[in-house]
Chain A
């Protein structure tokens, strides 16, 4: 968080209404996302209680796990819906011509799955569920599809860890990227109060009032995967007991099961509606340029996973072996840096944040020296135009700092000199890339005098660190590492180019 967000949080508290933190949406939003609301059973690590899901807000599918006994039939039904959704994304593919020797021509699916869940806790629950299911023995049709569901859940929850990925998105985090409320980030984790702040119902005076109303213990419910203690004690536990009684008495259990279904449907419906409400709000935001590109990579990753499944298909190990874990970490760091850089290029708000943290400054171009040249190593003159930018931002940079600018994305700049004059700072910059050779200069690179520009610290050139190859490292966890040398997420390794 930056000081700017802190300031906005304070303003939101003072006014009682949330503030927009960005006018652009930084994640792709599918026209047909699979909305998924999951409840887990209180107690066991990953026993589902119910899942409400679907692509149609008005016709959700509700799957219920019985209070006791096998969850396989329920999970098989869940697997059917999820797999059918994922299969539909594989229907069409496009041809990508070769780019270079190590990027040969290939095909890529034109769509990729997008699952929306209420909160980060649900992502964790799906991760646990994936872990629990993908090692299940697959001896019949049902358990085979359950195993496959486990595989997909692992893939999707892995993607959810990667900044900028849009395969599995917790809605509270998604909304939090675009609005700042007057409550704490911990409270923002609750979908109901977060939405109340952002889009209060008409009859409430402010977002704060609406949020207070939604906290009323009589009507508030958690958006999963945990259920409220009050719901457990007052409704679920008695029904489970009744179910157990009919079981021991050998009576028909359909009635208690139907009752459980009614109970859960009523419990989940309000959150289901909130999820679609969140979707509508997010869909109304214009999509940032970078998010289209990131979605392209999402499709690449998805296509790779489909290939892996048909060619290899062994479950991923329970825990990444050391090298895989290191690769994964490096990839995540890189994705985070790339995502931040792209947001800065796309979004004035992101740039404003960087200005308050000192990673950028904004100012007016006062002088343009378009004739400045340097002698290159061969003695030939090189065109290196210079600018002077006057800023009132507190500058925390040194001469020699490489910079980039959103308005001229192909250009690169270096700070030559910094002079302070009263409250203003004059920064002299040299254009070091994008200006073309001296013989054919690209004059389009020069800004208009008087233009207001923001310069951000240039992102580091990324190089994936060298890791020992798979066969040179011992494996210690989860069985032999799946052997798929071609399976590199190329989307993560070429983002800074």
Chain B
């Protein structure tokens, strides 16, 4: 165990690690400047358990109905050796083979296998490499539930894309099956963006795989295919997207994670987020201690945290106490660029504080707004 690992596992305490997955990597894209989250994720700490112990609302809890629906759709699409999928992909990617081979890697490894992910990974790897090296007409074309591996901050993280497709001309494609609908050709843009960010993690993992074997990583296409229900039916439709932007930002943020040792150096000695589960498995760690530990790592709260982080309500309370503009949304934050807190802004407005040189314009504007507001109260306007 490296010393970095040892330090991270001390942060986590006794609980088993919750490794990174495509969703936590996507969250990295959503709020890359948050040290708190980078550290907690790197240490494999279960944020949901943390939030539950702190008695916070859990905006990310998953609905069983949503999961069931998603699974049913996925089964429908991959049923009969991918029969419904093949014509869609053939059209989207210009696959020309009359018969597209399909392999389900879900079932590799027996139940007793201690590391099914590892096994499925080596199986995936050998399939992909043989497809990449062999003559183009001899390979498997569709791999269902492959397992890929990505190096995140020096750790191997296993990722499970839905499908990897291989095309005649030698390019690999990531295919994701998502259960949100495309209505009259228009999917929810926020959901597409989230799906593409996840797919970006898969693309990077695939590229790592090829590069390790001396193959050109560009053979993994930046074009990503999403399979969604069409309109109000459960019939699938395929749409291709270019994920270049997401791939670029994600690899940039992954590089930044190398700063972990620096972040760890800044922590007071003995800092831990251990929930200290008692004999009944319930956490015994005093909440005050836990919030104090959280406070030792810099957060970067924004109003969209609640869409990707279990700690959103904790960080919001903290940001409110600190009087941060981010709690009031991006418009306020942008309006008041150059001032640090709400308290300062109000003190400047009311003339209780003298503006610094670069705060003069905004102070003048605030004071004017205040004067106009007062005019309103006295009814002269």
- Residues of chain A touching chain B, judged by Cβ–Cβ distance below 8 Å, are 1-4, 6-11, 13-14, 41-46, 128, 131-132, 182-187, 215-217, 220, 227, 229-230, 232-233, 236-237, 240, 318-319, 348-349, 351-352, 355-356, 362, 392-394, 452, 454, 477-478
Known contacts A14-B342, A45-B231, A394-B365; is A362 also within 8 Å of B375 by CB? yes
Contacts of A6 in B (CB 8 A): 328, 331-332, 335-336
* Residue B345 interfacial (CB < 8 Å): yes
A–B pairs, 15, beta carbons within 8 Å: A11-B346, A42-B65, A44-B229, A44-B232, A131-B231, A184-B303, A184-B327, A186-B303, A230-B61, A233-B64, A352-B373, A352-B375, A362-B375, A392-B368, A394-B365
Contacts of A452 in B (CB 8 A): 375, 380-381
From A42, A128, A352, A392, contact of B376 by CB (8 A): A352
Complex CA gap A9/B343 in Å reads 12
Complex CA gap A41/B181 in Å reads 14
Contacts of B293 in A (CB 8 A): none
Among A10, A182, A392, the most chain B Cβ lie within 10 Å of the Cβ of A10
B327 touches A42 (CB 8 A): no
A10 touches B342 (CB 8 A): yes
* Residue B349 interfacial (CB < 8 Å): yes
CB distance from A204 to the nearest CB of B (A): 17
Contacts of B63 in A (CB 8 A): 42, 227, 229, 232-233
B380 touches A10 (CB 8 A): no
B65 touches A232 (CB 8 A): yes
Known contacts A186-B304, A394-B364; is A131 also within 8 Å of B183 by CB? yes
A394 touches B368 (CB 8 A): yes
* Residues of chain B in range 52-103 having any CB-CB distance to chain A below 8 Å: 56-58, 61-66, 68-70
* Residue B372 interfacial (CB < 8 Å): yes
CB distance from B313 to the nearest CB of A (A): 8
CB distance from A5 to the nearest CB of B (A): 8
A22 nearest in chain B by CB position:
B376
B185 touches A319 (CB 8 A): yes
Complex CA gap A355/B371 in Å reads 11
B379 nearest in chain A by CB position:
A348
CB distance from A420 to the nearest CB of B (A): 14
* Residue B286 interfacial (CB < 8 Å): no
Contacts of B64 in A (CB 8 A): 232-233, 237
A186 touches B381 (CB 8 A): no
B329 touches A355 (CB 8 A): no
Complex CA gap A388/B369 in Å reads 23
B372 touches A10 (CB 8 A): no
B183 touches A45 (CB 8 A): yes
Complex CA gap A217/B375 in Å reads 42
A46 nearest in chain B by CB position:
B232
Complex CA gap A441/B107 in Å reads 92
* Residue B360 interfacial (CB < 8 Å): no
- Shortest 8 CB-CB distances between A and B: which pairs? A43-B69, A184-B329, A45-B181, A232-B63, A42-B65, A229-B63, A229-B61, A132-B232
CB distance from A407 to the nearest CB of B (A): 11
From A7, A14, A478, contact of B373 by CB (8 A): A7
B65 touches A10 (CB 8 A): no
Classify the interface of chain B: helix, strand, loop or mixed: helix
* Residue B135 interfacial (CB < 8 Å): no
A49 nearest in chain B by CB position:
B65
CB distance from B329 to the nearest CB of A (A): 4
Among B185, B371, B381, the most chain A Cβ lie within 10 Å of the Cβ of B381
CB distance from B146 to the nearest CB of A (A): 26
* Residue B179 interfacial (CB < 8 Å): yes
* Residue B357 interfacial (CB < 8 Å): no
Contacts of A319 in B (CB 8 A): 184-185
* Residue B245 interfacial (CB < 8 Å): no
Complex CA gap A415/B223 in Å reads 56
Contacts of A220 in B (CB 8 A): 57
Known contacts A215-B57, A352-B373, A356-B369; is A232 also within 8 Å of B66 by CB? yes
CB distance from B192 to the nearest CB of A (A): 15
B179 touches A349 (CB 8 A): no
Contacts of B304 in A (CB 8 A): 186
A233 nearest in chain B by CB position:
B64
* Residue B108 interfacial (CB < 8 Å): no
Contacts of A184 in B (CB 8 A): 303, 327-329, 332
A124 nearest in chain B by CB position:
B188
Complex CA gap A4/B369 in Å reads 5
Contacts of A10 in B (CB 8 A): 328, 332, 342, 345-346
From B328, B371, B379, contact of A182 by CB (8 A): B328
From A187, A216, A394, contact of B303 by CB (8 A): A187
CB distance from A192 to the nearest CB of B (A): 12
- 16 additional contacts (CB under 8 A) given A6-B335, A42-B63, A45-B229: A1-B332, A1-B335, A7-B369, A10-B345, A13-B323, A43-B68, A43-B70, A44-B69, A44-B181, A46-B232, A183-B328, A184-B332, A185-B331, A319-B185, A352-B373, A392-B371
B342 nearest in chain A by CB position:
A10
Complex CA gap A220/B364 in Å reads 42
Contacts of B179 in A (CB 8 A): 43
CB distance from B207 to the nearest CB of A (A): 34
CB distance from A197 to the nearest CB of B (A): 12
* Residue B156 interfacial (CB < 8 Å): no
* Residue B370 interfacial (CB < 8 Å): yes
